[in-house]
Amino acid sequence: MILEIKDLNFSYDGHEKVLEDVSISLERGNILAIIGPNGSGKTTLLKCIGNILIPQKGSIDLDGESLDSYERQDIARKIGYVPQVESRGFPSTVYDTILMGRKPYISWEPSEKDLKIVSQIIRKLGLESISMKEINELSGGQRQKVFVGRALAQQPNLLLLDEPTSDLDLKHKLEVLNIIRHQVDQGISAILAIHDLNMALRYSDRIVMLKEGSVYDSGGLDVVTQENIESVYGVKVYITEHESWLTVTPDKPVDGMTID
């Protein structure tokens, strides 16, 4: 078990709970998709796992040890995090951005090995031709690959990705998720907070459904049922199967606004 979360509670100073008694476990080699409507706590949960937010109650065990017992640096070597939006102050090249992922390993001067790892990642992600470009000159899809690349440069056991595909076109979506799938197949794990249910069904092994800060249901892909989605999202859907891939087709909101 790479990750074991028990009874996690979190609230932003003094406000009402964003997460309530969340328990999740994840095994090596699996992709876990966290799904749920806006405001259900997906991002907050990822940030708690990534040690970016400190939960008020509950425990997070990483590789069998409590997250609290690790130094910051050690967590950064075990968990790579890709935020939903990154607000940069100043420009940085693709290479420098991915090299930043080596920070937990670098004392001052990056070693030959650090540079080699970064160059390997750039090649693997197909970013060779733009390695010296500023990242704010790139398209959304390329930039997302760069941020995934930075997280990979941390050589983590666990990848956390917050809406990694939300701004991407179909091709880039598949490319980014394929990269993640490929990495996970090499023996790490990943957790995605994701809106796109079809992508979740296509790429993940495990699903956690959040509703109002609590786990509504969790398990394999069979968690995604008409009843669950209706209850969590308030939307009536059809689930169809095509060559063993499940597809969710939305019909209409259950009691939402209708225009006649």
Site for other proteins in 42-101 (CB under 8 A): 47, 50-52, 71-77, 79-81, 83, 86-93, 95-97, 100-101
CA distances to 34, 44, 131, 175 from 213, rounded to whole Å, are 12, 9, 40, 30
Q: 41 near 200, Cβ under 8 Å?
A: no
Residue among 54, 26, 45, 50 at smallest CA distance from 151: 50
Instruction: Name the minimum Å distance from CB 230 to other proteins.
Output: 33
Binding pattern for the stretch 16-35 against other proteins, x by CB under 8 A and - elsewhere: --------------------
Going 201 to 4 to 145 to 82, the CA torsion angle's sign is: positive
- Dihedral angle, C-alpha 198, 201, 204, 206, nearest 10 °: 130
Binding pattern for the stretch 143-182 against other proteins, x by CB under 8 A and - elsewhere: -------x---x-----x----------------------
Bridge-based pairing state of the strands 31-35 and 189-193: parallel
The one segment of 4-12, 119-127, 174-182, 225-233 that binds other proteins by CB under 8 A: 119-127
Count of residues of this chain found to bind other proteins when the rule CB under 8 A is applied = 46
- Structure token pair of residue 156: 């983590």
DSSP state of 161: E
Choose between 72 and 171: whose C-beta lies nearer to other proteins: 72
Instruction: Name the minimum Å distance from CB 104 to other proteins.
Output: 5
Q: Which parts of this chain interact with other proteins (CB under 8 A)?
A: 47, 50-52, 71-77, 79-81, 83, 86-93, 95-97, 100-101, 103-104, 106, 108, 115-116, 118-120, 122-123, 128, 131-132, 136, 150, 154, 160
